[in-house]
């Protein structure tokens, strides 16, 4: 048995020695923070033009996380590349010859990349929140307000889980291009569109991103959005089930298929 | 020591590797020879536990690959020169492998020096030529200072200097008592490096023999004769107990004789000779004959097994072999 600590160290070296790690994680942070700031500034100035329902359910915390919709795509790319380049480069054979225990190999890789994504996610989340609140001014909230800290920490968790989910899916599909081709349109278009279509949204609210992102809401039914039959932690739980399923699927494929 | 027992790999109905059983012993270079598509790479991937066998087992020093503690310290392999992340430097590609098997960092510098890549250690490996990539792959195989080394077609696409370097490296490693297993589809390459030979065709074991035995058994040496007095020459040869084969076109072939002896014999009998030459069928021809029935991809319209060892018998005056006991023309 290759020792887990040795494999973790090896996977950390793999992640820190490729440039895609820096640019995907930096993009995730910058895009999320910048877009969140822009929307916070916009809504702050347009607050009086909002409908009454929207004003009553105004959720300044969620507004500062508006950039997540776009920034999460960079997290998807990070997650896909961490696993996918093993296959596209042919490195997978060298890696598995060095660490033949499939579970040790895959879960060490995902643990290292997942923790890194989580840390960047938390940083992104706190930056987005404080910058957003500063720009919202009078309409903003504080970190000490009820449920706000949960939503901010949850925003970081959400980003990390999106990356881990992408890693699991890529381990199943064994290809960066295929995984990106499915995950990016799914999170950016399919999920968003279905969530707005009557009937379809009853299903769409159980999608990993739709369910998981509820953790970032402080006001239930924020900004006059649809009410869902689960709470913020329930939503994150649904997302966790998706992540667990993706990881299990990825592991089974790695164990069964020829490298 | 590597032991294969009944190793089989099927893809659907196609059998790529068919009940292979053999051993690879330490201290020698064992050549793994077979035409393209014979199942060499598949076998090697199964040996490293990358592909799952349909049935059969592979044992490395008595253990299954997955049971090896830090496998790079037992067995190093070069499967594909490009099996590295191109965006990572040569040094870092080796470092992450070293770390996974708790091999000290200093060993990375050592193997880079050994394969002559120290100067480009910090360069991204995607800019490497085929030869440099091959050297990096060999460096990764040597990383754990393993007792067993496996190379899949290591000289493919290399320049003469690179080929020479790899040959000498393999011999030196075997001389240190290591187990060297190297695949090739070129008999000529094996003849220069291997001490022992395992030949497969269509996934089946065709030969498991020492190189010396293979050469002795498979490179037929004979004397080729042409004479305007062919009938008389044949009778003389028969009378002296030689086995004569008519190769067509007025050519006689005699096994187990020297040109000196036959020349003297012809002179004693006052026979004119137009040709008297010693012939030797090449190992390449022997290999092609052995695998003739097991070549996966035939070139259309060309006779791949042509050459001196296999003259088409259809044009011969008589059957291929004639025994020395018949004497019709006395």
**Separation in Å, CA of B184 to nearest CA in chain A:** 20
C-alpha angle A70/A76/A81, rounded to 5°? 140
**Separation in Å, CA of B139 to nearest CA in chain A:** 12
Q: Are A36 and A128 in contact (CB under 8 A)?
A: yes
**Tokens for B53?**
């066998």
Query: Is A18 in CB contact (< 8 Å) with chain B?
Result: yes
- Would you report the helix, strand and coil content of chain A in percent, each value rounded to 5? 80, 0, 20
ipTM of the assembly?
A: 0.89
- Among left, alpha and beta (phi > 0; psi -120 to 50; other), residue B203 is left
Average pLDDT over residues B200-216: 89
**Tokens for A172?**
């199943």
The secondary structure of A26-51 as a DSSP string is HHHHHHHHHHHHHHHHHHHHHGGGS-
**Separation in Å, CA of B200 to nearest CA in chain A:** 22
Give me the residue from B50, B65, B66 closest to A258, CB to CB. B50
Structure confidence by residue, pLDDT tens digits, B232-288: 999 999 998 888 888 888 899 898 888 999 999 999 999 999 999 988 777 777 787
CB within 8 Å: B85 and A20: no
Q: Are B180 and B149 in contact (CB under 8 A)?
A: yes
Round to whole Å and give the CA distance between B318 and B251.
12
Whole-number Cα distances in Å, A70 to A33, A225, B55, B114, B255: 10, 19, 49, 48, 81
CB neighbours of A140 closer than 8 A, spacing ≥ 6? A40, A60, A132, A133, A134
CB neighbours of B147 closer than 8 A, spacing ≥ 6? B26, B61, B74, B75, B177, B178, B179
Query: Is B84 in CB contact (< 8 Å) with chain A?
Result: yes
Q: What confidence category does residue B188 fall into, taking pLDDT thresholds of 50, 70 and 90?
A: confident
**Tokens for A217?**
């809401």
Structure confidence by residue, pLDDT tens digits, B133-167: 999 999 999 999 999 999 999 988 788 888 999 99
Interface test with A, best of B17, B76, B100 (most A CBs within 10 A): B100
Q: What confidence category does residue B328 fall into, taking pLDDT thresholds of 50, 70 and 90?
A: very low
| pLDDT(B305) > 90 | no
Structure confidence by residue, pLDDT tens digits, B72-126: 999 999 988 778 888 899 999 999 999 999 999 999 999 999 999 999 999 998 8
Give me the residue from A6, A17, A258 closest to B102, CB to CB. A6
Average pLDDT over residues B205-221: 84
The predicted model scores a pTM of 0.84
pLDDT, averaged across chain B: 85
**Separation in Å, CA of B189 to nearest CA in chain A:** 26
Please, is A214 exposed, middle or buried when counting C-beta atoms within 10 Å of its C-beta (0-12, 13-18, 19+)?
A: buried
Residue A37: predicted pLDDT: 96
**Separation in Å, CA of A140 to nearest CA in chain B:** 44
CB within 8 Å: A91 and B85: yes
Average pLDDT over residues B293-310: 48
Give me the residue from A9, A90, A98 closest to B71, CB to CB. A98
Q: Are A79 and A184 in contact (CB under 8 A)?
A: no
Query: What whole-number percentage of chain B has pLDDT above 90?
Result: 55
Rg (CA), chain A: 19
Q: Are A85 and A91 in contact (CB under 8 A)?
A: yes
Average pLDDT over residues B293-302: 54
Q: With CA atoms as reference, report the closest residue to A134 among A50, A54, A41.
A: A41
Round to whole Å and give the CA distance between B269 and B259.
15
Q: What contacts 24+ positions apart, CB below 8 Å, involve B322-328?
A: B322/B234, B322/B243, B322/B244, B322/B245, B322/B246, B323/B243, B324/B237, B324/B238, B324/B241, B324/B242, B324/B243, B324/B244, B325/B238, B326/B238, B327/B235, B327/B238, B327/B239
Query: Is A17 in CB contact (< 8 Å) with chain B?
Result: yes
How does pLDDT run along chain A (259 residues), one tens digit per residue?
558 999 999 999 999 999 999 999 999 999 999 999 999 999 999 888 888 888 888 999 999 999 999 999 999 999 999 999 999 988 999 999 999 999 999 999 999 999 999 999 999 999 999 999 999 988 989 999 989 999 999 999 999 999 999 999 999 999 999 999 999 999 999 998 998 888 888 899 999 999 999 999 998 877 667 778 899 999 999 999 999 999 999 999 999 999 8
Please, is B212 exposed, middle or buried when counting C-beta atoms within 10 Å of its C-beta (0-12, 13-18, 19+)?
A: exposed
**Tokens for B317?**
């005056």
Q: What contacts 24+ positions apart, CB below 8 Å, involve B129-135?
A: B130/B81, B130/B157, B130/B158, B131/B157, B131/B158, B131/B159, B131/B162, B133/B81, B133/B82, B133/B84, B134/B78, B134/B81, B134/B158, B134/B162, B134/B166, B135/B162
Please, is A123 exposed, middle or buried when counting C-beta atoms within 10 Å of its C-beta (0-12, 13-18, 19+)?
A: middle
CB pairs under 8 A between A and B: 96
Residues of A with Cβ-Cβ distance to B77 under 8 angstroms: 97
Query: Is A5 in CB contact (< 8 Å) with chain B?
Result: no
Whole-number Cα distances in Å, B154 to A256, B61, B133, B165: 29, 24, 11, 11
Query: Is A169 in CB contact (< 8 Å) with chain B?
Result: no
Round to whole Å and give the CA distance between B24 and B197.
10
CB within 8 Å: B82 and A259: no
**Separation in Å, CA of A156 to nearest CA in chain B:** 28
Give me the residue from B48, B72, B83 closest to A91, CB to CB. B83
C-alpha angle A104/A110/A113, rounded to 5°? 135
Round to whole Å and give the CA distance between A201 and A193.
9
CB within 8 Å: A93 and B50: yes
């Amino acid at each position: 048995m290759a020792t887990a600590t040795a494999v973790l160290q090896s996977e950390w070296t793999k992640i820190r020695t490729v440039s895609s790690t820096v640019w995907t994680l930096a993009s995730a942070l910058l895009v999320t923070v910048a877009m969140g700031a822009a929307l916070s500034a916009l809504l702050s100035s347009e607050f009086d033009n909002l409908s009454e329902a929207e004003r009553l359910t105004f959720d300044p915390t969620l507004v500062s996380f508006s950039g997540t919709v776009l920034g999460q795509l960079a997290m998807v790319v990070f997650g896909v590349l961490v696993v996918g380049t093993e296959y596209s480069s042919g490195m997978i054979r060298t890696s598995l010859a060095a660490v033949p225990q499939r579970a040790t190999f895959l879960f060490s890789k995902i643990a290292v990349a997942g923790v890194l994504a989580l840390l960047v996610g938390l940083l992104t989340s706190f930056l987005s929140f404080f910058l957003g609140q500063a720009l919202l001014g009078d309409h903003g909230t504080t970190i000490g307000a009820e449920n706000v800290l949960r939503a901010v920490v949850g925003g970081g968790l959400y980003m990390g889980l999106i990356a881990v989910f992408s890693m699991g899916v890529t381990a199943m599909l064994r290809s960066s291009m295929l995984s990106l081709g499915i995950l990016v349109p799914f999170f950016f278009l399919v999920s968003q569109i279905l969530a707005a279509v009557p009937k379809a949204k009853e299903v769409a609210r159980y999608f990993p991103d739709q369910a998981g992102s509820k953790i970032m809401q402080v006001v239930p039914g924020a900004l006059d959005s649809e009410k869902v039959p689960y709470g913020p932690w329930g939503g994150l739980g649904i997302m966790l089930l998706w992540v667990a399923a993706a990881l299990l699927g990825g592991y089974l494929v790695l164990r069964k298929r020829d490298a | 020591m590597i032991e294969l027992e009944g190793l089989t790999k099927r893809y659907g109905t196609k059998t790529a590797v068919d009940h292979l059983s053999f051993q690879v012993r330490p201290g020698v270079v064992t050549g793994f020879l077979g035409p393209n598509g014979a199942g060499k790479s598949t076998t090697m991937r199964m040996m490293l536990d990358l592909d799952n066998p349909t049935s059969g087992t592979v044992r490395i020093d008595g253990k299954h690959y997955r049971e090896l503690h830090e496998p790079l310290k037992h067995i190093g392999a070069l499967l594909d020169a490009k099996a590295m992340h191109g965006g990572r430097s040569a040094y870092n590609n080796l470092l992450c492998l070293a770390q996974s098997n708790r091999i000290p960092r200093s060993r990375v510098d050592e193997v880079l020096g050994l394969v002559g890549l120290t100067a480009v250690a910090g360069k991204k490996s995607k800019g490497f030529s085929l030869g440099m990539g091959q050297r990096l792959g060999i460096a990764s195989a040597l990383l754990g200072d393993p007792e067993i080394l496996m190379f899949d077609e290591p000289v493919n696409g290399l320049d003469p200097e690179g080929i020479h370097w790899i040959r000498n490296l393999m011999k030196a490693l075997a001389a240190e008592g290591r187990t060297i297993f190297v695949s090739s589809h070129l008999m000529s390459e094996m003849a220069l490096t291997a001490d022992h030979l395992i030949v497969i065709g269509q996934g089946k074991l065709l030969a498991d023999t020492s190189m010396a035995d293979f050469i002795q058994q498979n490179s037929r040496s004979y004397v080729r004769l042409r004479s305007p007095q062919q009938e008389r020459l044949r009778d003389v040869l028969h009378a002296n107990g030689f086995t004569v084969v008519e190769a067509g076109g007025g050519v006689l072939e005699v096994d187990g004789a020297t040109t000196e002896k036959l020349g003297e014999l012809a002179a004693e009998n006052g026979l004119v000779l137009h040709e008297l030459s010693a012939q030797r069928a090449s190992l390449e021809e022997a290999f092609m004959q052995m695998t003739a029935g097991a070549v996966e991809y035939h070139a259309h319209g060309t006779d791949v097994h042509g050459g001196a060892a296999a003259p088409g018998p259809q044009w011969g005056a008589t059957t291929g072999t004639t025994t020395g006991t018949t004497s019709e023309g006395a």
